[in-house]
Amino acid sequence: MEYAGRGTAELVLAIHGVFGGCDQGLLSVGALFPGRRVICPSRSGYLGSSRAPGAAPADQAGALAALPGQLSADVIAVSAVTTPALKLALSHSGAGSST
């Protein structure tokens, strides 16, 4: 999965919607988080990311989970990617735990 990023502090994972790719994610939210590390992936089939055979929300969540350090990230998602982002939060972040 192609991604763009900048910064070195606490991680923000910004996932683009229907148009654009990693470039759109970085342009749309990069300035909102000065001093934080922002990673913006290009989802399956966008820009330099290949089209995965399984592009269901759960498949997209699994691909996002493989990004470096994302399990401790704040996540921002817009438009068509909100469902995969919710699946990511529910299945890969320990959501619902009592810790």
> Are the beta carbons of 50 and 12 closer than 8 angstroms?
no
User: Is residue 80 in a domain?
Assistant: yes
Q: Which of 20, 1, 12, 11 is nearest to 59 (CA)?
A: 1
User: Is residue 97 in a domain?
Assistant: no
* pTM as predicted: 0.72
In terms of residue numbers, what domain contains 52?
Answer: 3-92
User: Is residue 85 in a domain?
Assistant: yes
User: Is residue 66 in a domain?
Assistant: yes
In angstroms, how far is the first alpha carbon of the chain from the final one?
Answer: 31
Give me the pLDDT at residue 94, please.
Answer: 52
User: Is residue 98 in a domain?
Assistant: no
Looking at the 3D structure of the chain, how many domains does it have?
A: 1
User: Is residue 99 in a domain?
Assistant: no
User: Is residue 81 in a domain?
Assistant: yes
User: Is residue 15 in a domain?
Assistant: yes
Give me the pLDDT at residue 50, please.
Answer: 67
pLDDT tens-place string over residues 38-82: 888 877 666 666 676 767 778 878 877 877 666 677 888 877 778
Q: Which of 68, 81, 65, 71 is nearest to 29 (CA)?
A: 81
